[in-house]
Amino acid sequence: MSYIAFVDTQGRLVFGMGCDLQEGKPIPLPDSFKKLLAPASAFLKHNAPADVVSGIAMLPEAPLLMVSRPIVTSENKGPIRGTLVMAREFSSDLVKQFSKRTKLDVGVFRYDAEQAPADVMSMRQALSPTSPAIIRPIDDAVLAGYTPSTT
């Protein structure tokens, strides 16, 4: 994991730390990650002990794969005492691992990238709250999927 955070029910960060995965050393949480943990964040909204919130969040430093779960008893019962949030930087190495494991050619591009492929650029106008994900066939063997991040 690149980042881990424990947040109380009031939305206060109780503990958080990061890890430089290249160096294997602890690092402080970046302010951009802490902003994702604001009290109104979707990652902190859990209505039941088994709730899970996951998605991709875009930070200035890198995109993140994120997941959060409510903090409950070891029997998975409430009351909910807070939230555990974990994130992994979506690096080029991670994309290569996904490609290898799925045996698919996986590409990830920032929504605001100036140098993205033409099909990615054209999806900017097509994606909307009513069409949050689009899948288009490229040819008989290739599908392309497009979706914005959760933040």
pLDDT tens figures, 5-39: 999 999 999 999 999 988 999 999 999 999 999 98
User: Residue 26 — left, alpha, or beta (φ > 0 → left; ψ -120 to 50 → alpha)?
Assistant: beta
pLDDT at 100: 92
pLDDT number for residue 3: 96
The residues pairing with 88 across neighbouring beta strands, listed in sequence order, are: 65
Q: What is the pLDDT of residues 81-132, one digit of tens each?
A: 999 999 998 888 888 888 899 888 877 777 677 777 787 788 877 887 787 8
Phi, psi at 131, each rounded to 5°:
-130, 70
Confidence class for position 144, pLDDT limits 50, 70, 90: confident
Amino acid making up residue 7: V
**pLDDT at position 85, please?**
97
Residue 151 has pLDDT above 70, yes or no: no
Query: Model's pTM, two decimal places?
Result: 0.76
* Domain spanning 3-91: CATH superfamily: PAS domain (3.30.450.20)
Domains in the chain: boundaries: 3-91, 109-146
